[in-house]
Amino acid sequence: MFHDLFVTWFEWTRDNGYTGIFVMMALESTIVPIPSEIIMPPAGYYASQGTMNLPGVILAGGLGSTFGSSLCYGFTYTVGRAFLLRWGKYLLLPPAKLELAERWLQQFALPGVFLARLLPVVRHLIGFPAGLARIPFASFAAVTFVGSTLWCGILAIFGQKVLGAQPDLLKDPNALAALIKHDLMWFVLLVAGLGSGWMFIQWFAKRKVVNV
């Protein structure tokens, strides 16, 4: 079932060019379980084949991700936390996921939005607590765009290299997503390390203020 969905998403993106990339990455940045690993890498590959150009592919992905995350922001800004706690599970956003995203935002604030766009699981959830916390929208959108565009660029460039050497992966989206997640683990660990470092700095600064 999921394989068929992956193939459908992948083919729709391929056939609709920049618009397809924008729409699919917008959906990926909401509660729709679409992996960015099957959207951006093939798009990067097709850019190398002359079907699209790489800057356009990356920009479409970054704008789509920002738009999708902004929808999440606007939704929670409007309906509030009580609504999500009661009905979120029917929207694929159970309380555990919401609380995870809220804890992340409480620990890292606005830099956490940027880091979240580079990490699995948290990346598509961060718009929800940002709306609840009433983070200024312009700041949220700007940081989201920068983080999302960076992630889309990494995936697109990586996809050019991986698919350029193994084009048969285009026929197996599951294998493509698994390979890219495995090969990009170093990047996820780096971002997690930066987040841990930021958390330590915040903790140390607060501790120093208390002891003064």
Give the predicted TM-score (pTM) of the model.
Answer: 0.80
pLDDT at 90 over 80: no
52 near 18, Cβ under 8 Å?
Answer: yes
- Cα(32)–Cα(27) distance, rounded to whole angstroms? 6
CA distances from 133 to 118, 136, 184 (A): 21, 9, 31
CA distances from 173 to 163, 177, 179 (A): 11, 6, 10
Q: pLDDT (tens digit, 9 = 90+) per residue, 21-62?
A: 999 999 989 888 788 888 888 888 888 888 889 999 999 999
Q: Which domain holds residue 70?
A: 2-211
Residue type, 67: F
Give the total residue count for the chain.
Answer: 212
152 pLDDT band (50/70/90 cuts)?
A: very high
Q: What is the DSSP letter of 53?
A: -
Helices (H), the chain: 2-28, 40-48, 54-79, 81-87, 95-116, 127-132, 137-165, 173-183, 185-211
Mean pLDDT on 177-181? 74
Q: pLDDT (tens digit, 9 = 90+) per residue, 132-145?
A: 888 899 999 999 99
pLDDT at 212 over 70: no
117 near 28, Cβ under 8 Å?
Answer: no
| Number of domains comprising the chain | 1
